[in-house]
Structure 1
Amino acid sequence: MQIIRSMRKRHLIIVVLICLVNPFLGAQERVKIKKKEFRREAVAGFREAWRSIGEGNKCYDQGLGTFDLARDHYLLAYRYNSDHPGLNYKIGACYLFTDSKYEAIDYLEHAYRLSPEVADDIHLLLGRAFQLVLEFDSAIHHYQAHLNGLKRDEKEANTSLIERRIAECVSGASLTQDPVRVIIKNLGGEVNSRFDDYNPVFAYNDTALFITSRRPVKKAKRNPLDNKFNEDIYRMSFDGNRFDSAVRLNKPFNTRHNDALVDISPDGQMALLYKGHIDGGELQFSAFKAEKNKWTRSKRFSRRVKSKEGEGSACLSPDGKQIFFVSKHRKYSRGGKDILVCSLNEKGKWSSPRNLGAEINSVFDEEGVFLSEDGKTMYFASRGHNSIGGFDIFKSELDDQGNWSLAENLGYPINTPDDELFYITDKKGQYGYYAANREGGFGARDVYRVIYLGAEKEMQLLMRDSLVAGHGGRKTGYLMLPRLLELDTSMLVQGRVLDTIEGKPVVAKLAFINPETGQVESTVISNASGAFKARLSHPGVFGVEISATGYLYYLDILDLIGMSTDERVEKDFYLQPFDVGTKVVLENIYFQIGKAVLRPESFEALDQVAKFMENNPGMKLEISGHTDNTGSLRTNQRLSRERAKAVVDYLIGKGIPSSVLVYEGYADSQPVAPNNTADGREKNRRVEFKVLSK
């Protein structure tokens, strides 16, 4: 009853996501770990491991809110016995329903290999886990296997759900074959935290950004559904290039309850607020009183924008005469939560809600509505249409007759099989911003910027330090570029190229690439003191390619957004030297789960390795595969060696002589981080090269 009562005081993000999680919660609680089966003969540590099982079960049985605690207890027991199917299943289930859901696949697949009948819903959870890592064929196989294994009455209740998941996988397979050309960048630690951060709202000519965050504050309470803190509103200033650190707002924006800012009027004088403690979620407004220099106490926006089911996100039209909002209103909804609109009449009264129709609203949930500056493009999230899983971002265009076009998926990699929500654009419509839980983030849901590139041409994939592992301040991005051409330029960037170890200057070639045109805007050589000067045509995002004898090939992203053309930019670059014995982790190398088959998104990174070797023809490399300590040593030894061989085979296929390449698999014998955390295990699963001679 505690959880049921708590839903009366709703979080905006929980209201959005809880219906997605529920269909996957089935038979987990029926999986028992028996002491006799868990005990291993002649292996020390049983008593402590069994105690961890007991503590984990207590947290597990309490539900989603304590799955992360249960997982940590289970992982302690896992050190004692990593081959118990029930334990692997429970760890996988805990990962699947917490922020580190991409970790689930290894444990669930291991549980299934150990015991195909470990749980009634093992195929369902495996389907979701494979879907999350873009293994759509495997996901469909497991979804279909789950459906085939249901009894007649269970099949009637679950067929539509499974068919929907399969349809998502079909959409995913299609959209991932034709990725959109974008850079997706984490906004960094000034905006994001290790807690959930989402729902971005720009205001005051894009000089201020508001977000909703679930960070701890004094006397903060946790929600029992997910064991996270209440929602609060934060603000940060933005100068067009940098964000200041986030600051929590006072009343009327924040209270001791769940609060979110969903929109600010174009004139900046009215704030739309979500108050989660009122009737399952209510939209309120606060007006700014200039003479008192303060905001008024918030109150209900309108009785027209109100239902017993509660409302969520909303936005105002540019002229302030329409409000678009998300509601599960029984009278107006087509199914699930829909986007409705109310219009302001000549008397200043709001009309009754109107459903935007099947072009926008599916029979599943919609969320996070936003209108462009001209009011002619609507962005929103939906679990329906051709979503590839969870909430995807869609857009619709308004024609001259006032009709909205059929929802269009923004595509991969903007959308993934996980949830993408609360998409907005800046005032110029140049960049998008949205919330997602992506690998390489700060630990939970973060706010990202989407930078759109020009028309597709012959592509290269440009990744930050693509030969060197690391998150670069935990800001990550994807950048796809055409082949390089020459072009005159006009904006000054200057700095030095330095050695990362000794800090000494490096003579290097630097190429600055405009991703919108695919052209090299400037190519320069740093001098004996490492100094360089380059001229670029305009402020924006540029790719930087640097090469120097005796150093690793370097690729980076230079972000000059918001800078003026007469501003002098100071930027130093650091190159990593290589010598005999140097080891380098190959970043962005992906394999099919549990196999030694390279995924296509790995090819561009490996092409850079091939180019690096072509520029250093006397060099000999060892390619090595490494794993974490999950699973058996024999399996990990075989898999790590086969994956290293797959990389070598690819490089040979690119013209690198086999005589300068060797491969080896080291399993988990050379960890670079502890294996007792998800982040550590992720770092240990890697492919490296080692310089044997040069």
Structure 2
Amino acid sequence: MVDQGDKLYSRQEFVKARAAFEAAEKIDPNDAKIQLKIGLTFLSSSPKFQSLQHLERAYKLDQQVDPDIHYYLGMSNQLNFHFKKAQKHFELYKERNKRMGPICDHKIEECKRADSLMNTAVSAIVKVMDWPVNSPYDDYGPLLNASEDKLIFTSARDSSFFDRRTKTLFEEIFISELKDGVWTVPQKISSNINNQFHDAAASLTRDGKTLIVYYGEGNGDLYRSDYDGVNWSKPVSMGNIINGPMSNETSGCFTPDGNKFYFASDRPDGYGGLDIYMVEKDKHGEWTNAINLGPEINTPGNEDAPFLHNDSTIYFGSDTHPGLGSYDIFKSSSINGKWQKPENLGYPVNTAEYENFFHLTEDKKRGYYASVRQEGSGRTDLCMVTFLEPEPVVQVETEPEPEEVETTQQPASDEFVDPLISLQKDLGIATALKGTVIDAQSSIPLKAQVVLIDNATNTIISRVYSNPATGQFSIDIPHGGNYGINTSVDGYLFNSMNFEVPTFSEYQEIDTHILMAKAETGSKVVLKNVFFDSGKADLKKESIGEMERILTLLTKNPNLRLQVNGHTDSAGDDALNKQLSLKRAQAVVTYLVSNGIDQERLTAVGFGEERPLVSNDDEMEGREINRRTEIEVIQGS
């Protein structure tokens, strides 16, 4: 199996190689080489961030497992936002491999800058767009018309054509429409546009009538297709001024007035790989010679996917301008005809992974782009960012290395704002929870805050928001721990869920509907994250996060009065069960009163086994469901 995996890996068939190595892992889970090989299949494909648990295990089993192990660990830690750990591994690798010094120095600088960017996160919410827009394949290049009800993008899903050289499906262009707040299942845009080679959507004019298309046949060139209200025309070349005879033109866009066209090309007169160029129409409507935007914009690396919000502001992707790693998105303004130093859009727009193909809405409140994110598929997904403040300006400077100090993790209270992805969690993803948040009575979708909390440490792991139009969200739960999911909406009781995830568990996806009850008389919520030892009534420390959420609820709603109900299963003596349930309810009340809540607002009741939710005949699951503590509103807010 290992030999088979090695052969597949050498042919760059990483997913198949991983399956072979994982089969070998089941026979010997403590083989450091096998753990290394599994980690490298992730690092070489996707989802890259899942490489960390295997590489760290390989290193723990054998620190000499591979001469390049510190470089691999540096890369994987960087992708998982552990920038100081990544920096240490790059430094160790540099000490032992002098010829890699320049590369390691570059990675170390990336980690320092990333730390700075993470500490100055912009006020924005990034959401991976929901299925069916995204798929298990790479999806990128989101283009929207001005009214944001038509989406055109590039994907390898449902492709009929296979690239024998790369052993991947050729990508094609798809279109989806927003109807009743939901994106329709994407369809191939037109047989006039998609061909048997690689096709990609490069840009769309604001009126949605002109599409710039990239065709990968030959060197790779740009074409134009126009929409007449019914059909897309057969694309025609953008011409020899834009498409060079020996160069690859990957993307391009018009200015809003249509008189200028900016595009990316690797033609030989540039500063590095892909550079951004501009052509302008003369008085006869012909394109002038292409002008390189110069060293302020272009670097020895790659600059790609230009987007002009107006004639004087350009957005683009770069793998060399100071950023968090891989491709980041940058912005530059033209003042008196001169492009200024590009500004990184900052975290959470950019991460240590890939971000590119950014398009900003006309009102500057939202941006659509492609990104590889841990809360997504692990491949390139279409994302939407909502800016909560005016457009961010993030100056990225490398600061002197600060002394390493012990950090304190954030308490799991809704009164705090935390990064979307915790920098503290080293484990891979075990469970993808995908859900819809709706009003329990009307079934109307709700915009909710969904928070994942490590109950053992009472710290927030991640925070996402459901789509206000659909109520949908997705959040990833790591291996190895007991986690609470808290969902909250103003004017509603919070919803509480609990997950116990083994350290070595198979990846799974869970779909759920979260019903939110308004904070009005008669509403109840089961406290899934309040814990007691068997037969006892003392709150376990893992319950603190849930107790703080009740405190927050009562503090935000000063007129709210609650009854805490204790319940048991049917095992044991009836009278003892009722007594135990009352003591547990009283323990919750005591905690709340000791933390400043007026005793008059709280009542404790023990029902014992009188009110089961399900039959107690199921000795495992049924009885576990019936053993519960809940809060009930006896006076609304």
- TM-score by length of structure 2 reads 0.66
Query: Is 2:313 aligned against 1:364?
Result: no
SS at match of 2:132: coil
Specify the alignment match of 1:286 in structure 2: 225
2:333 is aligned, of 380, 385, 397, to 397
Q: C-alpha separation between the residues in 2 aligned to 1:430 and 1:302?
A: 35
Mapped contact 2:141–2:202 kept (Cα < 8 A): yes
1:406 to 341, 357, 381: 341
Contact 2:146 2:362 in 1 (8 A): no
Q: Which of 248, 253, 257 is the matching residue for 1:319?
A: 257
Determine if contact 1:185/1:475 at 8 Å carries over to the other structure.
no
3-state SS of the aligned residue for 2:417? Answer: strand
- Equivalent residue, structure 1, for 2:171: 231
Contact 1:433 1:449 in 2 (8 A): yes
Does structure 1 conserve the Cα–Cα contact (< 8 Å) formed by 2:493 and 2:525?
Answer: no
Letter in 1 for 2:291: R
For residue 304 of structure 1, the aligned residue among 221, 227, 241 is 241
- The 2-side partners of 1:265 and 1:128 are apart by 38
Shift of 1:176: 0.5
Which residue in the other structure is 2:373 paired with?
Answer: 438
> Which residue in the other structure is 2:213 paired with?
273
Partner SS, residue 45 of structure 2:
coil
Corresponding position: 1:339 with 2:276: yes
Give the equivalent residue in structure 2 for 1:193. Answer: 135
Quick check: 1:421 aligned with 2:356? yes
Match of 2:199 in 1: 259
2:522 is equivalent to residue 573 of structure 1: no
Distance 1:223 1:474 in 2: 38
Change in 2 beyond 3 A, CA 1:584/1:201 = farther
Q: Cα offset for 1:451?
A: 0.6
CA contact (8 A) 1:325 1:369 kept: yes
Give the partner amino acid of 2:221: E
Residues 512 and 545 in structure 1, CA contact (< 8 A), matched pair in contact too = no
**1:349–1:609 distance in 2 versus 1, CA, 3 Å:** farther
* Other-structure match for 1:461: 417
Deviations 1:185-222 (A, max 9, x none): 122113111111110111364332100001133x4314
1:221 counterpart residue number: 162
The partner residue of 2:54 within 94, 97, 107 is 107
- Report the Cα distance in structure 2 between the residues aligned to 1:579 and 1:267, rounded to whole angstroms: 50
Question: Is the partner of 1:398 in helix, strand or coil?
Answer: strand
SS at match of 1:379: strand
Instruction: Indicate the residue corresponding to 1:173 in structure 2.
Output: 115
Q: Which one-letter code corresponds to 1:94 in the other structure?
A: T
Q: Deviations over 1:322-359 (max 9, x none)?
A: 1111111111x112211111111112221222111222
Bigger proportion of residues as strand: 2
**Distance 1:211-1:474 versus aligned 2 partners, 3 A rule:** farther
From 152, 155, 159, the equivalent of 2:101 is: 159
Closer, same or farther in 2 for the Cα pair 1:190/1:181, shift >3 Å?
Answer: same
Please name the residue that 1:34 is paired with.
Answer: none
1:366/1:609 Cα in 2 relative to 1: closer, same or farther (>3 Å)? farther
| Structure 1 pair 68–330 and aligned structure 2 pair: CA distance change class (3 A) | same
Relative to 1, partners in 2 of residues 1:189 and 1:315: Cα closer, same or farther, differing over 3 Å?
same
Structure 1 residue 584: Cα displacement: 8.2
Q: Residue 544 of structure 1: CA displacement?
A: 2.2
Structure 1 Cα separation of the partners of residues 418 and 320 of structure 2: 32
Secondary structure at the aligned position of 2:317 is classed as strand
Would you identify which runs of 4 or more consecutive aligned residues in structure 1 move more than 6 Å?
511-514, 605-608, 616-620, 690-694
CA distance in 2, matches of 1:475, 1:360: 42
Change (3 A) 1:237 1:70: same
Shift of residue 54, structure 1, vs aligned partner: 2.8
Structure 2 CA distance, aligned partners of 1:240 and 1:363? 46
Residue type matched to 1:271 in 2? L
Is the 1:359–1:406 contact (alpha carbons within 8 Å) kept by the matching residues of 2? yes
List alignment gaps of at least 5 residues for structure 1: 1-51, 477-494, 504-510, 515-535, 555-570, 586-604, 621-650, 657-689
User: 1:237 & 1:209 partners in 2: Cα distance?
Assistant: 6
Q: Give the Cα–Cα distance (whole angstroms) in 2 for the partners of residues 366 and 108 of structure 1.
A: 32
Match of 1:129 among 76, 81, 93: 76
- 1:481-500 Cα shifts (integer Å, max 9, x gaps): xxxxxxxxxxxxxx95469x
Provide the C-alpha distance between the structure 1 equivalents of 2:208 and 2:630, rounded to a whole number of angstroms. Answer: 64
Task: Provide the residue aligned with 2:622 in structure 1.
Answer: none
In the other structure, the counterpart of 1:349 is: 286
The question of 1:61 aligning with 2:2 is answered no
**Contact 1:441 / 1:475 at 8 angstroms: preserved in 2?**
no
Q: Identify the residue that residue 538 of structure 2 maps to in structure 1.
A: none
Q: Return the offset for 1:417.
A: 0.5
- Look up the equivalent residue of 1:107 and give its one-letter code: H
Q: Structure 1 residues 359 and 91 mapped into 2: Cα distance closer, same or farther (>3 Å)?
A: same
Distance (Å, rounded) in 1 between the aligned partners of 2:545 and 2:325: 31
* Residue identity in the other structure for 1:72: A
Secondary structure of 1:238's match?
strand
Q: Which residue of 2 aligns with 1:246?
A: 186
Is 1:545 aligned with 2:503? no
Residue 253 of structure 1 contacts residue 261 of structure 1 at CA under 8 Å; is this kept in 2?
no
Q: Distance in 2 between matches of 1:123 and 1:288?
A: 53
Instruction: Indicate yes or no: 2:125 matched with 1:183.
Output: yes
Partner of 1:149: 96
Measured in 1, the distance between the counterparts of 2:194 and 2:261 equals 23
- Give unpaired runs (5+ residues) of structure 2: 393-413, 423-429, 450-467, 474-486, 499-513, 532-542, 555-561, 567-590, 597-626, 632-637
Kindly state the Cα deviation for residue 362 of structure 1 after the two structures are TM-superposed: 2.2
Alignment partner, residue 608 of structure 2: none
Shift of 1:295: 3.7
Q: Would the alpha carbon gap of residues 355 and 89 (structure 1) be closer, same or farther in structure 2, given more than 3 Å must change? A: same
The separation in 1 between residues aligned to 2:19 and 2:262, in whole angstroms, is 43
Shift of 1:444: 2.3
Taking the TM superposition and a 5 Å limit, the aligned residue runs for 1:553-572 are none
Q: 1:206 to 1:693 in 2, by over 3 A?
A: closer
Aligned residue for 1:460, secondary structure, equals coil
1:251 Cα deviation from its structure 2 partner: 2.7
Quick one: percent identity of the two aligned structures?
Answer: 26
Equivalent-residue separation in structure 1 for 2:108 and 2:492 (angstroms): 46
Deviations 1:69-107 (CA, angstroms, capped at 9, x unpaired): 111111121112111111111111111122221111111
Partner residue in 1 for 2:478 = none
Decide whether aligned partners of structure 1 residues 425 and 306 sit closer, same or farther in structure 2, where only a CA change above 3 A counts.
same
Contact 1:583/1:691 (<8 A) preserved: no
Query: How far did residue 574 of structure 1 move?
Result: 5.4
1:552–1:577: 8 Å Cα contact kept in structure 2? Answer: no
Cα contact 2:251–2:264 (8 A) shared by 1:
yes
User: Does the CA contact (< 8 Å) of 1:188 and 1:475 recur in 2?
Assistant: no
Task: Give the superposition deviation at 1:512.
Answer: 8.9
Of the three residues 141, 145, 156, the one matched with 1:203 is 145
SS in 1 for 2:142: strand
